[in-house]
Structure 1
Amino acid sequence: MTNSAEEAPTSTTPSTSDMKTPIPLSSHRATTLLQNLSHIQSRITSTSSSLPSPASTRPVRLVAVSKLKPASDILSLHSPPANLDISASESSSHDHFGENYVQELLEKSRLLPRTTKWHFIGGLQSNKCAQLARDVDSLWAVESVDSEKKANLLNKGRGERNERLRKELGDEFERNGWEDKLRVFIQVNTSGEESKSGLEPESVELVSLAKLIRSDESCPNLHLQGLMTIGAIARSKATTVETENEDFITLRSARDKIAEKLEIENKEELELSMGMSEDFESAIRLGSSEVRVGSTIFGERPAKKDAKVLEDTETDKK
């Protein structure tokens, strides 16, 4: 991941940042990313507005999946460089980013502004839960929770994070809106594939886990945001305007049943996180509150062994 000669980086440190390491940004790369993001947001708006009311007014959150991409890509979208040759709508900042690997997220969160809202969307090991919730200050949500053990460990780590930040920030903790509770999505295996993580949609474990997370006695530092699925790739590729994705229908049905079991009057209080680059418009039509889009914004990802959080610059090479 090196910059070409015509993409000479310029060092940009946003005023909103408390970053200790300035991150070089390429104006050319930033322009491309912002235009890609704007295109996806336009498609989301168009799909949402085509729905019958009141669904047409329901906001859909876009999580830009930045795994294996450098911190400079994220910063280009979160705090775009000034004076780019793009429209005002394309230059607006983006806050929500998704990461798959705990160590990569830890590194990026230390480099990038605390105003970045991180979503952990990858497979989560129990032994990483407390560290993730404790050490990523602006962790906005964990979307791959599939056991009570993981929920309890995330609750513990978030409590430790809250205690530390209150000591560090004092009154600023409340004044700047640092939230006590970590949002949690329960991962549901809607496709039945053995290679996929998540609880079965009809399982008693799913109901039990939802109750645990919602309990202020058991998990006072967690908030049940909703359900998430990573459906079958074949179904995603086969999805069209006329063909509904079975995985999305299954997740919506599971959400409705959970809401009934937990006596949640407004079932849409529980969000649905479903839909990726191939099928996010279909997911929105079937009620998704959040879509996760990566390659359509950032382009092809490098192999994990070749990925770098900080890109090499021409200065670094000399």
Structure 2
Amino acid sequence: MSAPTEPQPSTSTTSSSTAMKAPSSIQVNPQRAAVLVQNLSAIQSRIASTLSSLPSPQSARQVRLVAVSKLKPASDILSLHSPPPSDAPTAVDGHQHFGENYVQELLEKSRLLPRTIKWHFIGGLQSNKCAQLAREVEGLWAVESVDSEKKAGLLDKGRGERNQRLHKEFGDEWKAECERHGWQDKLRVFIQVNTSGEESKSGLEPGSAELVSLAKLIRSESSCPNLHLQGLMTIGAIARSRATTKETENEDFITLRTTRDKIAEEIGLTNKEELELSMGMSEDFESAVRLGSDEVRVGSTIFGERPAKKDAKVIEDTETEKK
């Protein structure tokens, strides 16, 4: 099977007219949508400003913005993916890339929302959820928290089963159907690296033999024919994020970049930038961009404070009442 056709970082918007119409049970509040669009636009502007401050050719890079929508209702996602028409200067086209942390929540949202959304799974991944995640989430663009050969193998198995199902459903036109929705046959994966050394964090140790072995396994057509190694991801220490300034760059980001360079050499890549860096969140994404991040994951700065997991609802009560 072919590798994904978007190996380079892409811009994070697409015309909302291309999105499938969402179920009528999801009602977008125009006032809430306007706030979300304004917040998203502000983050995009800050990314652009950071890039423009860098010397060429770094200033010409594109950085993917993943809007982390965990524990937020489907209506918030729809507000950004298919925003209501607006003449406001902050109006944006439909945002494509959204990140989720919980498999069950992602499964539910992916069944409710337009198939044109590009989902990123960024949470801690349990082995017993891997195959289901890769098999059942249409539009799953990437899994960013892979940290073992077992999980990689199960993701590969699930993606293969998904491809077989599509082939059975659409016959020889299954790849054309994927292309129509912007799906890929291979699932992109990022290896999670524990750059801070914290026991509470998942991920492999920088420079470890396990990290090199996992990278080689994912790139092996015989071992993982349904996966594509997109790059490395880190979460990093909160204290380092809060202490980050232009003068004191984040040590976790420097470590991930150095690790990427070494891994690229170990697996025989002539261009180290073929492996992306996914690093940077709400408090430190500008520092991450300065240090070469290809993707930042921003949640609370766009969506606001999250509810407790027990209180989170995919479909809000106010939406349910409007059915």
The residue identity in structure 1 corresponding to 2:316 is E
Amino acid at match of 2:168: K
CA distance in 2, matches of 1:135, 1:314: 25
In 2, the alpha carbon distance for the partners of 1:314 and 1:149 equals 40
> Pick from 215, 218, 226: which aligns with 2:231?
226
Q: Which residue of 1 aligns with 2:11?
A: none
Give runs of aligned pairs for residues 23-62 of structure 1, distance below 5 A: 23-62=26-65
Give the CA deviation at 1:263: 1.1
Q: CA deviation at 1:315?
A: 6.4
Asked whether the equivalents of residues 21 and 111 of structure 1 are also in contact (C-alpha less than 8 Å), the reply is: no
Structure 1 stretches lacking a partner, 5+ long:
1-12
1:259 matched to 2:260: no
2:194 to 169, 189, 192: 189
Deviation at 1:312, TM superposition (A): 1.2
1:1-40 mapped onto 2 (5 Å cutoff): 16-17=19-20, 19-40=22-43
Structure 2: how far apart are the matches of 1:130 and 1:161? 9
The change in CA–CA distance for 1:317 and 1:25 in structure 2 (over 3 A counts) is closer
The residue that corresponds to 2:6 in the other structure is none
1:314: how far off? 6.8
Question: 1:168: how far off?
Answer: 2.6
1:115 corresponds to = 116
* Contact 1:272/1:287 (<8 A) preserved: yes
**Structure 2 residue corresponding to 1:244, chosen from 231, 241, 249:** 249
**Distance of 1:317 and 1:20 partners within structure 2:** 12
Q: What is the rounded CA distance, in whole Å, between the counterparts of 2:218 and 2:65 in structure 1? A: 24
The answer (yes or no) to whether the contact 2:25–2:319 under 8 Å persists in 1 is no
Q: Which residue of 1 aligns with 2:175?
A: 173
2:66–2:97 Cα contact (<8 Å) kept: yes
SS in 1 for 2:51: helix
Provide the residue aligned with 2:131 in structure 1: 130
Paired residue secondary structure (1:313):
helix
What TM-score do the two structures reach when normalised by structure 2? 0.91
Change (3 A) 1:172 1:209: closer
Q: Work out the CA distance in 1 between the residues paired with 2:216 and 2:242.
A: 34
Q: CA deviation at 1:20?
A: 4.5
Q: Take 2:175 and 2:192, find their aligned partners in 1: how far apart are those partners?
A: 30
Deviation for aligned residue 1:104? 0.3
Indicate conservation of the 8 Å contact 1:31/1:85, yes or no: no
Check 1:77–1:28 CA distance in 2 against 1; reply closer, same or farther (3 A cut).
same
SS in 2 for 1:278: coil
Is the CA contact (8 Å cut-off) linking 2:242 and 2:284 kept in structure 1? yes
Match of 2:313 among 301, 304, 308: 308
Give, as a single letter, the amino acid of the residue that structure 1 aligns with 2:277. L
Deviations 1:39-85 (CA, angstroms, capped at 9, x unpaired): 00000001011111111111100000000000000000001112x35
Pairs within 5 Å for 1:31-110: 31-82=34-85, 84-87=86-89, 90-110=91-111
1:218 Cα deviation after fit: 0.5
Residues 26 and 319, structure 2, Cα contact 8 Å, conserved in 1: no
Structure 1 CA distance for aligned equivalents of residues 134 and 195 of structure 2: 26
Structure 2 counterpart SS, 1:140: strand
- Alpha-carbon separation, structure 2, partners of 1:15 and 1:142: 24
Q: CA deviation digits over 1:158-217, x for unaligned, max 9?
A: 011111123333425325243110000000000000000000001000000000000111
Q: State the aligned residue count.
A: 304
- Secondary structure of the 2:249 match is coil
Question: Normalising by structure 1, what TM-score?
Answer: 0.92
Which one-letter code corresponds to 2:146 in the other structure? V
- Farther-moved stretch of structure 1 (187-196 vs 168-177): 168-177
Between the aligned residues of both structures, percent identity stands at: 78
Aligned to 2:276: 271
| Separation in 1, partners of 2:141, 2:191 | 15
- Counterpart contact for 1:18–1:114, Cα < 8 Å: no
Separation (CA, whole Å) in 1 of partners of 2:137 and 2:22: 14
Q: Which of 266, 288, 296 is matched with 1:291 structurally?
A: 296
